[in-house]
Amino acid sequence: MASMRRNYVYLFSQTSFILGLGIIFGLILPQGAPWTKLAITPILILIMTVSLIDVPSKVLLDFKKLLVPTMLSITLNYIVLSGTLIGLSALLLHDDVLWAGSVLNAAVPPPVAAIPFTIHLGGNASFALIGSVVAYIASLAITPFISLSLLEANLVDPQKLLIVLAELIIAPLVISRLLQFTSVAPAMEKTRRHIVSWGFFLLSYTIMGLNRDAFLGEPETLLRLSLISFIASFVLAYLINITARLLKVDKATRISLVMMGTRKNVGLAAAMALTFFGPRAVMPAAVFMTINIIQFILLTLWIKRIR
């Protein structure tokens, strides 16, 4: 009995399992999604704030250490991955709302979860930390640029977009800095991972619940979005790892590069899509998130085999 309890505790502490649970609940019990939709922005602010508490402010002041992770992270996330998502979406999607959702996927920075995911897989934590933080700062310019360049001006209000970015990126960064000077940060040490995991559960549940009927009723659309997400997740991961290995990059750093080059903050993209275009525009984020979860589960197995 004690052994079974330990297994349950372990299972329900695994982020990949919790994310998968959110997807399943969203598909079979979608009725609560319209209500949890109201909490998406506060949940995302909470997740990002607690995830960034451990990021030391001084990490942004050492320019020598910042240079390589910064250049590689921005290249992989905003040029390689964003370019792949935009190019494939332009070829395969012929719906303005879905196109808008895909553009927002491409425009957002890597997820905050890239840091704990990288650590879980045995990657270069310092690289992931610096790359993620700098990518978020860069997103203040890059996200509006991509969004406003590829979407019609009347579809995205620049002022509203900046407000959303301020809420979901600047506010968590500032709050996390302030919390470092209080007793809250140490007190949250044991619960922080659970807050992030179950916050993602609510996000994945809401995204899937809001789009359940669209998924079941539009198999061709689902297939197209799945193909885009599969190439952006699995094919890019393979190509990044092979290329980095040929360049003699160590395994830990290659893991970090794969995470930077195959993941976007789909929670942020979903929140923006809901704000500007409605629930259907969340479909690209929902499918990409699902494929990313499957990829992460398989990565935990694949990572043991790669050299």
Q: Which residue ranges make up each domain of the chain?
A: 42-302
**Predicted confidence (pLDDT) per residue in 219-245, tens digit:** 888 899 999 999 999 999 999 999 999
Which has the closest alpha carbon to 292: 266, 274, 270, 268? 266
267/273 Cα distance (integer angstroms): 10
* pLDDT computed for residue 92 by the predictor: 94
Residue 250: pLDDT band by 50, 70, 90 thresholds? Answer: confident
284/293 Cα distance (integer angstroms): 14
Q: Please say if the pLDDT value at position 6 is more than 70.
A: no
Cα–chain center distance at 106: 11
Better pLDDT: 113 or 245 = 245
Q: Please say if the pLDDT value at position 131 is more than 70.
A: yes
* pLDDT computed for residue 304 by the predictor: 65
Query: How many residues are recorded in the chain?
Result: 307
Q: Are 130 and 59 in contact (CB under 8 A)?
A: yes
Please give the DSSP secondary-structure letter assigned to residue 57: G
* pLDDT computed for residue 182 by the predictor: 78
The pTM score is: 0.77
The CATH architecture that domain 42-302 belongs to is Up-down Bundle (1.20)
Which has the closest alpha carbon to 306: 248, 245, 246? 245
Cα–chain center distance at 273: 14
